């Protein structure tokens, strides 16, 4: 009897266990397959408002072009008639300001070598000093790799190369500031007529190859031009590629050119050389334009320069061109600018007291000038000068071997006061002076006058809280003047403000369900 009772209890236990298991399985299936009631879901407190965050990189790469040269280096025919750069000499100087803890200059696409330059300061404990470096360059472009402790106003790296020769086919002076990378860059160039070569050089500092799109607008008709060569250019990783613009669009009195990359930041310059038969007529670098503006100044013009102004706008507008002097503006010419067409205006010789050219337009325009001087035996040289872009902090470096005149121009209708700081070749402070500029007026200071018992001024930094003062340096060389060879070039100051990117984020509560 007890055995029957024990077996019955065991059977009941098995049945109950099976039922329990089936119930648990059913509950699991329901939990997995059925939607969760909204009452069980946590409420999201965030709204649908977008969040705008501004970020700045703490590492930058800057491109310094190779020395000026000839687009065609072939050796054809009698050696007496072959083009040559002659006794060209090139010097470069670099400077790092603010919270830069490392800045190194090296040849593009090459591993570290003895030619690399590491920027150093005179005293690492002195907050007023800057890191500097200089070198003589025989050939090839350079890359400045900069690392910052923080991206802040007054922090960054600048560089300048200057080349000069008193024989050969590039007699005169050519100079360029080092160029920051970006996805798109624009140029406003002089004429592409017979005897002129305009070699667009695009550098890709990344480790992946890229392709850039090239668009050109001319002076003869409005609208984008059809190029007689390709409208794209492939650029190798850590390398350069070039395109002859004057061959692609011959016969224009001015060009507006854009170079665009979809993903990879690039840096570009245009190397311009003009010849009249065997007579050199000048050479210089054209650099990327700043943002178009209603009021802008191309500084560092002097009396006797033959000046041509170039204007480009996206909408029909008009502008007044004036000589800017120490006492204010002297009207030169008024110009009507047709949308999507380059306007070239011959301003003649700059009068006594002229220190730059100012454009005052109804709408934003891109603006540059070409200043030309003549030497002995028909030789000439020119400077391609972009309108400056005022910045709260900006700087420039002066290479060895050239004399520099510094011009500061006030683009506003009110008096402005700025602070100019000078440093020697070791990065130590030489002087600091406040400069007051009257409304729409300019001043020129010889770099030698900023030097003194504390050293020779070769690095400059400007603090301009108004962001209304454009400035630059004009180079000359004693050996050229002694031989009656025209030689001039102008560089604009480089901004020392952090690059910024706006990142937008929007809340989406549905992604948590």
Structure tokens at 100: 């830069």
Provide the 8-state DSSP code for 22.
H
> Residue 138 — left, alpha, or beta (φ > 0 → left; ψ -120 to 50 → alpha)?
alpha
Residue with tokens 């930041």: 265
Instruction: Flag whether 382 is in a domain.
Output: yes
User: Tens of pLDDT along the chain (513 residues)?
Assistant: 455 556 666 667 676 776 777 767 766 666 666 665 655 555 555 555 666 666 667 789 999 999 998 876 555 444 554 568 889 999 999 999 999 999 999 999 777 777 899 999 877 666 677 999 999 999 999 999 999 998 889 999 999 999 999 998 899 999 999 999 999 999 999 998 888 999 999 999 999 999 999 999 999 999 999 998 889 999 999 999 999 998 888 889 999 999 999 989 999 999 999 999 889 999 999 999 999 999 999 999 999 999 999 999 999 999 999 999 999 999 999 999 999 999 999 999 999 999 999 999 999 999 999 999 999 999 999 999 999 999 999 999 999 999 999 999 999 999 999 999 999 999 999 999 999 999 999 999 999 999 877 789 999 999 999 999 999 999 999 989 889 999 999 999 999 998 766 566 666 665 555
Structure tokens at 390: 């005022």
Residue with tokens 């070699």: 199
What pLDDT score was predicted for residue 512?
54
Distance CA 419, CA 424 (A): 17
What are the phi and psi torsion angles at 346 (to 5°)? -80, 115
What pLDDT score was predicted for residue 503?
63
Distance CA 376, CA 370 (A): 20
What pLDDT score was predicted for residue 59?
86
From the list 273, 70, 260, the residue with the least C-alpha distance to 189 is: 273
Query: Could you list the residue range(s) of the whole structural domain that residue 218 is in?
Result: 53-500
- The number of distinct structural domains making up the chain is 1
Instruction: Flag whether 275 is in a domain.
Output: yes
Dihedral angle at the C-alpha atoms of 346, 352, 354, 359, nearest 10 degrees?
-40
Contacts of 245-249 spanning 24+ positions with Cβ under 8 A:
245/189, 245/192, 245/198, 245/199, 245/200, 245/216, 245/270, 246/192, 246/196, 246/197, 246/198, 248/216, 249/192, 249/216, 249/218, 249/225
Instruction: Flag whether 26 is in a domain.
Output: no
DSSP, residue by residue, 126-168: -TT--EEEEEE-SS--EEEEEEESS--TT-EEEEEEEEEESSS
Distance CA 155, CA 499 (A): 11
Q: Please, are residues 235 and 167 in contact by the beta-carbon 8 Å criterion?
A: no
Residue 125's alpha-carbon distances to 94, 95, 104, 121, 428, in angstroms, are: 20, 17, 20, 9, 11
Instruction: Flag whether 308 is in a domain.
Output: yes
Structure tokens at 66: 């190779």
Distance CA 132, CA 457 (A): 12
Instruction: Flag whether 327 is in a domain.
Output: yes
User: How many Cα atoms within 13 Å fall on the side-chain side of residue 229?
Assistant: 15
Q: Which residues contact 157 (CB under 8 A, 6 or more apart)?
A: 60, 62, 94, 95, 96, 97, 100, 103, 119, 144, 146, 178
Element at 70 (helix H, strand E): none
CB atoms within 10 A of CB 471: 30
What pLDDT score was predicted for residue 1?
47
Distance CA 92, CA 176 (A): 10
| pTM of the complete model | 0.86
Q: What does R_g of the chain's alpha carbons equal in angstroms?
A: 31
Structure tokens at 474: 């004009």
What pLDDT score was predicted for residue 48?
55
Element at 473 (helix H, strand E): strand 469-476
Distance CA 155, CA 399 (A): 21
Q: Please, are residues 418 and 467 in contact by the beta-carbon 8 Å criterion?
A: no
Instruction: Flag whether 325 is in a domain.
Output: yes
* Residues present in the chain in total: 513
Provide the 8-state DSSP code for 39.
G
What pLDDT score was predicted for residue 326?
97
Q: Is 106 exposed, middle or buried (0-12, 13-18, 19+ CB in 10 A)?
A: middle
Instruction: Flag whether 381 is in a domain.
Output: yes
From the list 243, 147, 161, 151, the residue with the least C-alpha distance to 197 is: 243
What pLDDT score was predicted for residue 123?
73
User: How many Cα atoms within 13 Å fall on the side-chain side of residue 208?
Assistant: 8
Q: Please, are residues 458 and 94 in contact by the beta-carbon 8 Å criterion?
A: no
Q: Please, are residues 406 and 471 in contact by the beta-carbon 8 Å criterion?
A: yes
Instruction: Flag whether 359 is in a domain.
Output: yes
Provide the β-strand partners of residue 348: 307
């Amino acid at each position: 009897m007890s055995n029957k009772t024990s077996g019955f209890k065991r059977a009941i236990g098995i049945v109950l266990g099976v039922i329990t298991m089936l119930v648990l399985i059913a509950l699991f299936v329901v939990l997995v397959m059925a939607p969760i009631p909204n009452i069980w879901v946590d409420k999201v407190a965030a709204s649908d408002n977008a969040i705008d965050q501004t970020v700045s990189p703490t590492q930058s790469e800057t491109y310094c072009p190779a020395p000026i040269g000839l687009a065609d280096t072939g050796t054809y025919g009698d050696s007496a008639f072959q083009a040559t750069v002659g006794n060209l000499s090139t010097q470069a100087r670099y400077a790092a300001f603010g919270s830069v803890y490392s800045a190194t200059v090296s040849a593009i696409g090459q591993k570290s070598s003895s030619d690399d330059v590491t920027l150093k300061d005179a005293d690492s404990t002195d907050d007023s000093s800057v890191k500097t470096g200089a070198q003589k360059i025989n050939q090839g472009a350079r890359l400045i790799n900069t690392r910052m402790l923080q991206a802040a106003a007054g922090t960054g790296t600048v560089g300048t190369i200057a080349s000069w020769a008193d024989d050969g086919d590039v007699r005169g002076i050519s100079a360029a500031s080092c160029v920051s990378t970006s996805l798109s860059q624009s140029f406003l160039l002089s004429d592409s007529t017979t005897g002129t070569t305009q070699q667009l050089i695009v550098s890709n500092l990344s480790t992946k190859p890229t392709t850039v799109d090239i668009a050109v607008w001319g002076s003869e008709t409005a609208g984008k031009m059809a190029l007689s060569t390709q409208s794209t250019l492939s650029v190798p990783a850590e390398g350069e590629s070039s395109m002859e613009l004057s061959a692609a669009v011959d016969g224009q009195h001015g060009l507006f050119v854009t170079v665009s990359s979809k993903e990879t930041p690039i840096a570009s310059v245009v190397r311009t050389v003009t010849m009249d038969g065997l007579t050199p007529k000048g050479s210089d670098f054209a650099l990327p334009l700043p943002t178009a503006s209603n009021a802008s100044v191309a500084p560092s013009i002097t009396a006797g320069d033959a000046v041509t102004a170039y204007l480009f706008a996206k909408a029909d507008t008009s502008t007044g061109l004036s000589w800017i002097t120490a006492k204010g503006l002297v009207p030169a010419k008024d110009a009507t600018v047709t949308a999507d067409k380059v306007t070239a205006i011959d301003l003649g010789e700059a009068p006594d007291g002229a220190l730059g050219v100012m454009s005052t337009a109804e709408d934003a325009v891109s603006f540059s000038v070409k200043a030309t001087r003549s030497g002995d035996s028909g030789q000439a040289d020119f400077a391609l000068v972009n309108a400056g872009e005022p910045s709260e902090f900006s700087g420039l470096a002066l290479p060895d071997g050239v004399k520099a005149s510094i011009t500061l121009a006030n683009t506003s209708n009110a008096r402005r006061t700025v602070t100019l700081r000078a440093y020697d070749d070791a990065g130590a402070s030489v002087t600091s002076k406040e400069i007051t500029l009257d409304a729409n007026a300019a001043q020129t200071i010889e770099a030698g006058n900023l030097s003194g018992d504390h050293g020779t001024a070769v690095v400059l930094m400007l603090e301009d809280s108004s962001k209304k003062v454009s400035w630059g340096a004009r180079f000359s060389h004693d050996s050229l003047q002694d031989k009656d060879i025209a030689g001039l070039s102008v560089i604009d100051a480089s901004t020392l403000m952090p690059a910024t990117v706006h990142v937008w984020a929007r809340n989406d509560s549905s992604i948590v369900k």
